[in-house]
A and B are shown apart, each in its own frame.
Chain A
Amino acid sequence: MSEAKLQLEAVDKIYNAGGARQVHAVRSLDMTVAPGEIVALLGSSGCGKTSTLRMIAGFEEATRGSIRLDGREIHRLAPAKRNVAMAFEGYSLYPPLTVRENIAFALKSSSLSKTAVAERVGEMAHMLEIEDVLDRYPSSISGGQQQRASLGRALIRDAGLYLLDEPMGQLEPQLRALLRGRIKFYIKERGLTAILVTHDQTEANALADRIAVMEDGVLQQFDSPAHLKDRPANLFTGTFIGEPPMNVFEAEVRADSGRLRFGLSGGVVLDYAEEEFSEALRRTLAQKLRVTLGVRPHAVRLAAEGAPAEVTANQWLGDQTHIAARFAGGSIVTVEHHHAPYAKGETIGVVLGSADLHVFDSQTGAAISHGGALA
């Protein structure tokens, strides 16, 4: 059995315990990170992702539960022994040092020769495109450059675990895609283990092998980006992950004479042959009157025979087109990968294939099925 790099077991974090303003920031969190894995903690502000990272870094103690790094309880380890590198959201570069000195500082305690340090700093600067500001002071460079320098200072270390707090939030948009690729290559090539905290799902999707989606201190789902998209565990992850967000409709389930029908508001009925859904799923659905349906925008097909919808917006973004249309008493969004010609006010046919249908429990939000099979 391969040893887990990092293991969180039933971790709770409560601020102001017993006080008037008690905050339960993290609730019974279980999570295991394998060596060489990149994991993202994703969620909106206040979801508990930063508290989790701070506990892993050892800045805060878990109120309950255990956190083990390389099999050892983290709070038993002196900070220097933890061998954790961290890039902070607020950059936290040392102001009296140049960018070069800031990055090299992380190698101070190593036994590398001066030339070796210079070489590694040079490589890092090349990767992060900060070669031309290496001899400047943090206060005289842009926020994006500071963030890249801070990333460099964390990544240059030989650490067992890399913690990156919103590592790319301030990056210049033109550099993002390239740096994501380079950093992922850098981490993967060296087999490093990294945990990044972010509120930006694009960043999480691009970099992480697995994403932990958090909300209200509760881990909603811990899965690969592909599974988060195709098999969301509940309505929250379903609508949180994905850009544009998932289309959601309330529906009435009706099954008769070999057909399974979902009645949407506005008189729209989605009519499928019974065989498109597994028998177990049909039995479950038979007990539900109302369900919530989800369809990803890119799974919405446009075809003449589909249910009619009136185009309200057609926005071409260069490499894809986002189309919104009035549908089933609300609106439906679809993505095309080309310059779609539909004009405002035009009627289009919307086809929702049973294979692309996500069914959620209307009360609990838990996923019932993805495609034709039970979740």
Chain B
Amino acid sequence: MPELRIEDLTKRFKGEAVLDGVSLTVEDGETLTLFGPSGAGKTVLLRCIAGAVDPEDGRILIGGEDMQDVAPEHRGIGMAFQNFALFPHMTAFDNIASPLTAQRRSRDAVREGVERVAKLLKIDHVLSHAPRALSNGQKQRTALARALAASPGLLLLDDPLRNVDAKLRFEMRLELPRLLADQGATVIYVTQDYKEAMALGDRIAVLSDGKIAQVGTPEEIYRRPASIEIARLFGDPTINLLDVVPEKDGAGVFARLSNQRVPLHGGLEAAVGRDCVLGLRPEALRFSANEDGIPVMIEAETPFNEKTVTLVVTARGREILISRPAGTPAPASGAAQIAADATDALLFDRATQARIVPDRDGGSTSEAAA
């Protein structure tokens, strides 16, 4: 299975750069999720790789071979589209068979190939249907089957779960990794849903304004986001961001919230006295029974999947979201105290919006274990 290398790719539409010097390597057999808000350039990048859009600048190498003059049909790619793009005048069978017929395989070989992927995706009972007779979930599976049918080395999946309902999306999210692993293909999976990005990607590439903002494992992106923007993109509810100026005393560096200390670990001496933004994930906050917590007023409690999210306001009017597993007890209204699990605190420079990397980065998790 090939490795995909993208070097300095640039694409403009009407003078505006949609892709602005994107470089990215997807290793052989790896699943990389390409994540970003809408308009970030994800789909254009995928289309450049597929050959449907020609970049102005830069190179695309699949298995070391420059794709500049290679037509889409010769790139050895499988692709699933967000809107499914099923051929409406062909049956599900013919749709799935289209990559196989292109290789001029025998009729039996085509039938065998279609039935193999159809069974894998549990759509073998609807192969004779036209796309309009399929349910949304079946359409999505047919589109996926078509992309997989010829066992392509490189698989491009353009937000394939976007247009199916929540239940199906969930089911497919758990099923996809096994399917992709069985194929052994190198995969680029485009999504706008950070949960999909984290669940499916060996690594995540965050695309923002046509540039790669960060590439890393889900763990790296979530725990060590490069900037405020990335920290805000991952996590639901969104990370709490509070303006602070770190201070230092005998016990170490800390940030002051409503006159309470939130210790900052890992050696952040460099941040002392600078204008910073403290990032606290909602799950890193909890209600505290002690009187030494940060005093807040509870505004609203909103149940959220298997969690409960509470919106509280500090005396200075700062809004903070706190989440906890559903069913754990907590005050529901009125005054309360909260405390932060400081090992997961993130610190950003207010001017550059970049994360201030502690001297001992990643050490915080081992500290937590100890």
A/B touching: CB–CB < 8 A: yes
Interface: B166 (CB within 8 A): yes
Contact in complex: B166, A177 (CB < 8 Å): no
Contact in complex: B283, A319 (CB < 8 Å): yes
Contact of B300 among A184, A225, A324 (CB under 8 A): A184
Contact in complex: A319, B281 (CB < 8 Å): yes
Contact in complex: A319, B304 (CB < 8 Å): no
Known: A315-B198, A315-B199. A324 touches B174 (CB 8 A): yes
Known: A173-B236, A313-B174, A319-B281. A182 touches B307 (CB 8 A): no
B-chain residues with CB within 8 Å of residue A313 when the two chains form the complex: 174-175, 177-178, 199
Contact of B303 among A206, A240, A297 (CB under 8 A): A206
Known: A202-B305, A243-B305, A318-B198. A177 touches B178 (CB 8 A): no
Contact in complex: A181, B304 (CB < 8 Å): no
Contact in complex: B325, A337 (CB < 8 Å): yes
CA A245 to CA B307, docked complex, whole Å: 14
Interface: B302 (CB within 8 A): yes
From residue B46, how far is it (CB to closest CB) to chain A in Å?
Answer: 21
B-chain residues with CB within 8 Å of residue A139 when the two chains form the complex: none
Contact in complex: A298, B302 (CB < 8 Å): no
Interface: B218 (CB within 8 A): yes
Known: A181-B309, A312-B178. A207 touches B166 (CB 8 A): no
Contact in complex: A243, B302 (CB < 8 Å): no
Interface: A335 (CB within 8 A): yes
Interface: A333 (CB within 8 A): yes
CA A173 to CA B282, docked complex, whole Å: 15
Interface string of B211-239 (1 = CB under 8 A from A): 00000001100100000000011111110
Q: Nearest chain-A residue to B309 (Cβ)?
A: A177
Interface: A178 (CB within 8 A): yes
Interface: A316 (CB within 8 A): yes
B-chain residues with CB within 8 Å of residue A324 when the two chains form the complex: 174-175
Interface: B132 (CB within 8 A): no
CA A188 to CA B198, docked complex, whole Å: 35
A-chain residues with CB within 8 Å of residue B143 when the two chains form the complex: none
Interface: A244 (CB within 8 A): yes
B-chain residues with CB within 8 Å of residue A240 when the two chains form the complex: 167
Interface: B4 (CB within 8 A): no
Contact in complex: B173, A315 (CB < 8 Å): yes
CA A176 to CA B321, docked complex, whole Å: 11
Contact of B306 among A180, A226, A335 (CB under 8 A): A335
From residue B25, how far is it (CB to closest CB) to chain A in Å?
Answer: 23
Interface: A201 (CB within 8 A): yes
Interface: B323 (CB within 8 A): yes
Give the A interface residue count (CB, 8 A): 43
Known: A174-B233, A245-B167. A320 touches B306 (CB 8 A): yes
Interface: A153 (CB within 8 A): no
Interface string of A177-193 (1 = CB under 8 A from B): 11011101100100000
A-chain residues with CB within 8 Å of residue B270 when the two chains form the complex: none
From residue A344, how far is it (CB to closest CB) to chain B in Å?
Answer: 8
Interface: A147 (CB within 8 A): no
Contact in complex: A312, B174 (CB < 8 Å): yes
Contact of A243 among B166, B174, B310 (CB under 8 A): B166
Known: A177-B236, A313-B178, A333-B174. A206 touches B304 (CB 8 A): yes
Contact in complex: A317, B302 (CB < 8 Å): no
CA A39 to CA B320, docked complex, whole Å: 25
Interface string of B287-327 (1 = CB under 8 A from A): 00000000000011011111101110000000101010110
Q: Nearest chain-A residue to B173 (Cβ)?
A: A315
A-chain residues with CB within 8 Å of residue B306 when the two chains form the complex: 243, 297-298, 320, 335, 337
Contact in complex: B235, A181 (CB < 8 Å): no
B-chain residues with CB within 8 Å of residue A177 when the two chains form the complex: 236-238, 282, 302, 304, 309, 321
Interface: A362 (CB within 8 A): no
CA A335 to CA B174, docked complex, whole Å: 12
B-chain residues with CB within 8 Å of residue A185 when the two chains form the complex: 299-300, 311
Interface: B249 (CB within 8 A): no
Contact of A317 among B177, B195, B321 (CB under 8 A): B195
A-chain residues with CB within 8 Å of residue B16 when the two chains form the complex: none
Interface: A49 (CB within 8 A): no
Contact in complex: B238, A174 (CB < 8 Å): yes
Contact in complex: B234, A318 (CB < 8 Å): yes
A-chain residues with CB within 8 Å of residue B200 when the two chains form the complex: 315
Interface string of A275-299 (1 = CB under 8 A from B): 0000000000000000000000110
Interface residues of B in 216-267 (CB under 8 A from A): 218-219, 222, 232-238
Interface: A322 (CB within 8 A): yes
Interface: A44 (CB within 8 A): yes
A-chain residues with CB within 8 Å of residue B199 when the two chains form the complex: 313, 315-317, 322
CA A256 to CA B222, docked complex, whole Å: 51
A-chain residues with CB within 8 Å of residue B175 when the two chains form the complex: 313, 324
Contact in complex: A244, B302 (CB < 8 Å): no
CA A36 to CA B274, docked complex, whole Å: 47
Contact in complex: A178, B218 (CB < 8 Å): no
From residue A140, how far is it (CB to closest CB) to chain B in Å?
Answer: 15
A-side residues, CB < 8 A to B, are 44, 173-178, 180-182, 184-185, 188, 200-202, 205-207, 225-226, 239-240, 243-245, 297-298, 312-313, 315-320, 322, 324, 331, 333, 335, 337, 344
Name 18 interchain pairs, CB-CB below 8 A, sorted by A. A173-B236, A173-B238, A174-B233, A177-B282, A177-B309, A178-B319, A181-B321, A185-B300, A185-B311, A202-B304, A205-B305, A206-B309, A298-B326, A315-B174, A316-B199, A318-B198, A318-B222, A335-B306
Q: A182-B300, A318-B234, A337-B325 are in contact. List 9 more A-B contacts (CB 8 A).
A: A177-B302, A181-B309, A181-B319, A184-B311, A205-B302, A205-B305, A239-B167, A297-B306, A313-B199
